[in-house]
Amino acid sequence: MPRARTSQQPSLSVRLLAWYDVHRRVLPWRAPAGKRADPYRVWLSEIMLQQTTVQAVAGYYRKFLARWPTVGALAAARQDDVLAAWAGLGYYARARNLHAAAKVVAQEMGGRFPGTAEALRALPGVGAYTSGAIAAIAYDEKQAAMDANAERVIARLYAVETPMPKAKAELHRLCQALVPDWAKAISCRP
């Protein structure tokens, strides 16, 4: 006979963050534990990772960062050079938007990335997912960054029957409600 439960299970976010502490991969765009992420690096990696695997991105990411270490350097590059460096990654609109956004940040924002998800969302090539991811990772904002897989997981978790893409808004609300205020205290633990 099963023992009566005397304590309840930790929340989903607690369990996920505990898993992350043990299993997270070492990736070139991740800041060392306890250190703050550079928004330029997070942005560059997130754009490259759109529809593209970690394995395919890693080499390109290192190459871009070595050649253009700051958003100002990237903004000063010729678009032809950016596109040539991007060759092989696919979805070349990403490279054109990357360069355009770098120019906006460098020339209209003094080289500082927008400080909120909402403001990031206005940059070319930055949509709902990417703005949330950058703000969450670089600014510790309480943002749910939902990709297509997260949408499926949340839909199953909450048995949402609404077909996609109508369900997107509801799924985002459900996911946002799972994001704890104190996520940073756990995920930044050394």
Burial of 116-150, coded b for 16+ CB within 10 Å and e otherwise, reads ebeebbebebbeebbbbbbbbbbbebbbbbbeeee
**Pick 165 or 190: Cβ nearer DNA:** 165
Annotated active-site residue 151? The verdict is: no
Residue with tokens 């460096």: 85
Site for DNA in 35-94 (CB under 7 A): 49-56, 87-93
Q: Find the shortest distance in angstroms from Cβ 104 to DNA.
A: 11
| Sign of the dihedral defined by the CA atoms of residues 41, 44, 47, 52, in that order | negative
Q: Find the shortest distance in angstroms from Cβ 1 to DNA.
A: 41
Site for DNA in 6-25 (CB under 7 A): none
**Pick 3 or 94: Cβ nearer DNA:** 94
Q: How many residues does the chain have?
A: 190
Q: List the x/- string, 114-143, binding to DNA by CB under 7 A.
A: ----------xxxxxxxx------------
Q: List residues with catalytic annotation.
A: 46
**For binding to DNA (CB under 7 A), which residues are involved?**
49-56, 87-93, 97, 124-131, 147-149, 165
